[in-house]
């Protein structure tokens, strides 16, 4: 890496036909090279590749060169090389003598971005002309990961870029590794938002993602002496080639101040102003020339910020104080499934909705072709033109904010404003854990957003009057359904605000939506049953198959064609090949190639030699008690003890891989990480165990690491206590990539078992009703400890300091929690889990039977595409139709009458 191609364009280069893919030993073990017809005889490329067609093709080369990775044309390769050299020279101001690998990455990123820009502008022009209903997805988190490869795939450029980069003498995989993950999310909720943006663009919906451009994303996790240590994620330090700042759309956001009431209505005055500067990132659909926008807001201090207050001449301090305003978009709160009631967090939540709603209303008013003036001044059609989806309660302040705009600024009567607001908003609930539900102290809201508190009180009063009219004298019901919770500290229940202020409320898996209706928000569901829906989550097959597992993607396309990329339900056609010996062997071969590649990665990064034929047993997700990494840990200890007890006995070799981040303030989660690392230390260094069992804790689990580990996984661990995981999406990624699931009947596991047949998953443990019954009787951990000798031995080892000889009491807190306040009942499912794991090992010995089960799982994974999820949102909640219209690419003429460029098209 770091050297430049020794030849210039026009000089003879190295032929491509003889090389089996240039993405390492090939990224997927298959040739990703050129289409044999891409360099016709006599073409310039044919001259550049003199030996390209002069020998018989190998089997790999004869493989159908499918277009899911794009066709390589000689002209496109030459154009990409020209673009690359131009950007290296003009954008980065470097030549080959001083360019670094990072410069090469940026040159390639800018070259690929060039192919986006025309499509992006044209898409926005099209929306202004047609004025479709627009979908606004509001989320405090967008966990995008890397952009380069995903963009190449969605534009059909990947093979051409591979070829161009190869001809330039560079290594594509090395360039891709340089890109920083955009880690603007904690876990599932933020990654779901990213998958949804991909699907909305692919389905041709006029959709926008709105969030915050955090300067520091989710922290980088380092493991030092087995402990998690957090480091700041300075992901923007080298710049971000994918975003475009839009200072011309900067907007004011107000905080603090007071409210003045007069005959003309309420006025919020004496506020502190912070400016919201938008940064736009293109979101390309898959091969349809649609490019939507994700707009992230960055906080900026206005020029007079604090300067007016400093009439004593402390100008320097006044300028330095501008940081106070700009801190709003400084850092992502690193909590997953935990509510942190800090003032800065509430500022972030209001900041994003205040800026976004101004933008939405500006676009609504001006959304006529060729016009930036306000052409719509009446709001009756607002819900027909605008749908706003609240991704959890974090953007809930959008409801009182839209009411404030309608009532105070646009002077609409309250009832009309409320009707429009309800018809515009919809709310997605992501968790049933009580500690995760947002409840803001009234005092804090009053200080920061005084007018909004008044509006929330008014909403609540009218809501409670309505309940009282339906259920006279039912004071308890009024208390349960109020938006304001009384107690030591008065709090606003944000989920209640979202339900009352939305026309649709959905959970994210069938079982979760049922719990939402029958338990968490039972009173609300009884009042308006038609409001509550289910929308089972999904994942984008572009990133989670084509990008991360090209070998499997190509194999599937050979069998059933390439249309499945846009319609994942077509995977059911794979059922025809469950007994096809050749297909079984090929699926197993792809998995083995992925495992070898990941084993090499682990050896390089962790200096641990992994047996690639061992079962890769993987548990990657946020570290949380409800996800029960502790149960996995107890199973590792049990396997270790069994090997030690009878070293000669047959043992199916396993590599247990656990990864995930713990919230920095979550003591128990951090102790769990330390325990896993302590157990790994003992297991991996015991000569009696050898290569039979290895334990790896994956450091700094993130999107780009998920793309490596998921395709290499044999067994996917989805073992939350039934009734606690809303859906899960990692479980779907593993299923699609040919891993088998060991799991409880929780979240989307239930539907995965429905689709594939329960016999094709390893299901164990308590169901929701069993957990409820155990709660009723009272869970007593001691009973299980006394009854199960292997469990007792494992717990005793942790307790006695076997895994922490230098500090025998190190894990007292963990043991104490397991016995006395384990809400997630690890011991209750331990026995069933260990027995189920024995079945897993037994099946793994029979490679053919295992792979047949893998194929059945892949064939049943079609339901779990985010395209299907978004189609359901579009039909049932947003009332829009996906469009399969292909906007003409920039190099083709637009339709007559469409060639005028409206003002402000890219907004």
Residues 6+ apart with CB under 8 A from 510: 534, 536, 750, 751
Report the relative pairing of strands 715-718 and 693-698 from DSSP bridges.
Answer: unpaired
* CA separation for the pair 515, 527 (Å, rounded): 16
Distance in angstroms (rounded) separating the CA atoms of residues 497 and 459: 9
Strand spans (E) along 453-586 = 484-485, 491-493, 504-507, 532-534
Q: What is the number of residues in the chain?
A: 907
**In 547-609, which ranges are continuous DSSP H helix?**
550-560, 581-606
- 312 CB-near residues (< 8 Å, 6+ apart): none
The burial of 307, by beta-carbon neighbours within 10 Å (0-12 exposed, 13-18 middle, 19 or more buried), is given as middle
* 789-800 and 826-844 helices, crossing angle to 10°: 110
Active-site pick, 69, 191, 394, 430:
430
CA–CA distance, 707 with 597 (Å, rounded to integer): 12
Residues in a beta bridge with 534: 507
Contacts for 478-484: CB closer than 8 Å, 24+ residues apart: 480/523, 481/523, 481/524, 481/527, 483/456, 483/459, 484/442, 484/456, 484/457, 484/460
For residue 253, what is the DSSP state? E
Angle between helical axes of 74-86 and 158-167 (0-180°, round to 10): 60
**Active-site residue (options: 627, 635, 654, 863):** 627
Q: What SS3 state is found at 462?
A: helix
Pair 398, 138: CB distance under 8 Å: yes
With contact defined as beta carbons under 8 Å apart, do 87 and 111 qualify? yes
CB atoms inside a 10 Å sphere around CB 287: 19
Which three-class secondary structure string do you get for 755-773? HHCHHHCEECCCCHHHHHH
Q: Which of 729, 744, 869, 905 is catalytic?
A: 729
Of the candidates 119, 733, 852, 863, the residue annotated as catalytic is 733
Q: CA-CA distance, 707 to 720, in Å (whole number)? A: 22
- Tell me if residue 621 is catalytic: yes
Indicate the SS3 state at residue 425. strand
Alpha-carbon dihedral angle through residues 247, 250, 255, 259, given to the nearest 10 degrees: 150
∠ Cα 275 276 281 (to 5°): 155
CA distance 672 to 894: 59
Instruction: Specify which residues 493 forms β-bridges with.
Output: 439
**Which of 194, 622, 663, 150 lies closest to 391 in space, CA to CA?**
194
Active site residue 597: no
Beta bridge partners, 368, equal 371
Q: How far apart are CA 350 and CA 73, in angstroms?
A: 49
Active site residue 607: no
Q: Which of 621, 628, 661, 692 is catalytic?
A: 621
Q: Which two tokens stand for residue 343?
A: 């003032």
Q: Is-catalytic flag, 430?
A: yes
Q: How many CB atoms lie within 10 A of CB 239?
A: 11
Among 300, 503, 622, 694, the one annotated catalytic: 622
Torsion-angle region of 131 (φ positive above 0: left; ψ -120 to 50: alpha; else: beta): left
Q: Is 733 a catalytic residue?
A: yes
Residue pair 765/741 in contact by the 8 Å Cβ criterion:
no
Question: Which token pair is 469?
Answer: 């009219």
- Count each helix (H run) and each strand (E run) in the chain, helices first: 35, 25
622 is catalytic: yes
611 and 691 Cβ atoms separated by less than 8 Å: yes
- Asked if 464 and 478 count as a contact pair (C-beta separation under 8 A), the reply is yes
Alpha-carbon distance of 424 to 386, in angstroms, equals 6
Q: How far is CA 725 from CA 200, 333, 627, 746, in A?
A: 25, 21, 8, 6
Residues identified as active-site? 430, 621-622, 627, 729, 733
């Amino acid at each position: 890496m770091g050297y430049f191609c020794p030849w210039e364009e026009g000089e003879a280069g190295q032929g491509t036909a003889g090389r089996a893919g240039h993405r390492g030993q090939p990224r997927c073990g298959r040739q990703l090279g050129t289409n044999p017809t891409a360099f016709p005889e006599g073409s310039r490329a044919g001259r550049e590749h003199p030996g390209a067609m002069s020998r018989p093709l190998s089997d790999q080369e004869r493989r159908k060169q499918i277009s899911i990775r794009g066709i390589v044309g000689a002209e496109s390769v030459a154009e990409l090389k020209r673009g690359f050299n131009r950007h290296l020279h003009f954008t980065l101001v470097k030549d080959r003598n001083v360019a670094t690998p990072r410069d090469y990455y940026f040159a390639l990123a800018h070259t690929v971005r060039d192919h986006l820009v025309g499509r992006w502008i044209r898409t926005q022009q099209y929306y202004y002309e047609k004025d479709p209903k627009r979908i606004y997805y509001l989320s405090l988190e967008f966990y995008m990961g890397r952009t380069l490869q995903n963009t190449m795939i969605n534009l059909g450029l990947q093979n051409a870029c591979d070829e161009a980069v190869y001809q330039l003498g560079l290594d594509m995989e090395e360039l891709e590794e340089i890109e920083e993950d955009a880690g603007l999310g904690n876990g599932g909720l933020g990654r779901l938002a990213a998958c949804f943006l991909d699907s909305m663009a692919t389905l041709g919906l006029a959709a926008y993602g709105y969030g915050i451009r955090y300067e520091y994303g989710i922290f980088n996790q380092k493991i030092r002496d087995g402990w998690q240590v957090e480091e700041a994620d300075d992901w923007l330090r080298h710049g971000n080639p994918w975003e475009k700042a839009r200072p011309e759309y900067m907007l004011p956001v107000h905080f603090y101040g007071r409210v003045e009431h007069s005959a003309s209505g309420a006025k919020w005055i004496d506020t502190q102003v912070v400016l919201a500067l938008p940064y736009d990132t293109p979101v390309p659909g898959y091969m349809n020339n649609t490019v939507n926008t994700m707009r992230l807001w960055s906080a900026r201090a206005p020029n007079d910020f604090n300067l007016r207050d400093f009439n004593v001449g402390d100008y320097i301090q006044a300028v330095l104080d501008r940081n106070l305003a700009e801190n709003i978009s400084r850092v992502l709160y690193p909590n997953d499934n935990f509510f942190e009631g800090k003032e800065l967090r509430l500022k972030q939540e209001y900041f994003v909705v205040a800026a976004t709603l101004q933008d939405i209303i500006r676009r609504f008013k001006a959304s006529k072709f060729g016009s930036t003036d306000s052409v719509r001044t009446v709001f009756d059609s607002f819900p027909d033109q605008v749908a706003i989806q609240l991704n959890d309660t974090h953007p809930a302040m959008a409801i009182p904010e839209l009411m404030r705009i309608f009532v105070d600024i646009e002077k609409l009567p309250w009832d009309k404003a409320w009707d429009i607001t309800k018809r515009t908003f919809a709310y997605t609930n992501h968790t049933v854990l009580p500690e995760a539900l947002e409840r803001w102290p009234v005092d804090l809201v009053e200080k920061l957003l005084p007018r909004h508190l008044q509006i929330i009180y008014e909403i609540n009063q009218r809501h409670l009057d309505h309940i009282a009219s339906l259920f006279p004298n039912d004071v308890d019901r009024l208390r349960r359904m109020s938006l304001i919770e009384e107690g030591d500290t008065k709090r606003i229940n944000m989920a209640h605000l979202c339900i009352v202020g939305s026309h649709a409320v959905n959970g994210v898996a069938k079982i979760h939506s049922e719990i939402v209706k029958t338990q968490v928000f039972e009173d609300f569901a009884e009042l308006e049953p038609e409001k509550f829906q289910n929308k089972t989550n999904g994942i984008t097959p572009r990133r989670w198959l084509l990008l991360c597992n090209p070998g499997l993607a190509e194999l599937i396309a050979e069998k059933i064609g390439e249309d499945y990329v846009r319609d994942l339900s077509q995977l059911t056609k794979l059922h025809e090949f469950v007994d096809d010996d050749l297909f079984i062997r090929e699926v197993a071969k792809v998995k083995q190639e992925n495992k070898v590649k990941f084993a090499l990665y682990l050896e390089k990064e962790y200096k641990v030699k992994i047996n690639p034929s061992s079962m890769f047993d993987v548990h990657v997700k946020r570290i949380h008690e409800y996800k029960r990494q502790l149960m996995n840990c107890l199973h590792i200890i049990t396997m270790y003890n069994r090997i030690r007890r009878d070293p000669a006995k047959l043992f199916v070799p396993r590599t247990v891989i656990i990864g995930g981040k713990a919230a920095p303030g979550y003591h128990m989660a951090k102790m769990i990480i330390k325990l896993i690392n302590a157990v790994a230390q003992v297991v991996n260094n015991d000569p009696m165990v050898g290569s039979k069992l290895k334990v790896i804790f994956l450091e700094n689990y993130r999107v780009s690491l998920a793309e490596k580990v998921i395709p290499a996984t044999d067994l996917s661990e989805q073992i939350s206590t039934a009734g606690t995981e809303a859906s899960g999406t990692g479980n779907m990624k593993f299923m699609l990539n040919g891993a088998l699931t060991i799991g409880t009947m929780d979240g989307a596991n239930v539907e995965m078992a429905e689709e594939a047949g329960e016999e094709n998953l390893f299901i164990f443990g308590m169901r929701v009703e069993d957990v409820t019954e155990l709660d009723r009787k009272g869970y007593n951990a001691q009973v299980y400890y006394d009854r199960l000798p292997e469990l007792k031995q494992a717990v005793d080892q942790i307790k006695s300091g076997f895994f922490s000889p230098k500090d025998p009491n190190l894990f007292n807190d963990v043991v104490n929690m397991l016995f006395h306040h384990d809400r997630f009942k690890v011991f209750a499912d331990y026995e069933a889990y260990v027995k189920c794991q024995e079945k897993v090992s037994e099946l793994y010995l029979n490679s053919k039977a295992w792979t047949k089960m893998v194929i059945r799982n892949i064939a049943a994974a079609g339901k779990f595409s985010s395209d299907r999820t978004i189609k359901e949102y579009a039909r049932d909640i947003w009332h829009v139709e996906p469009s399969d219209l292909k906007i003409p690419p920039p190099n083709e003429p637009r339709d007559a009458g469409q060639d005028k460029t409206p003002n402000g098209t890219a907004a």
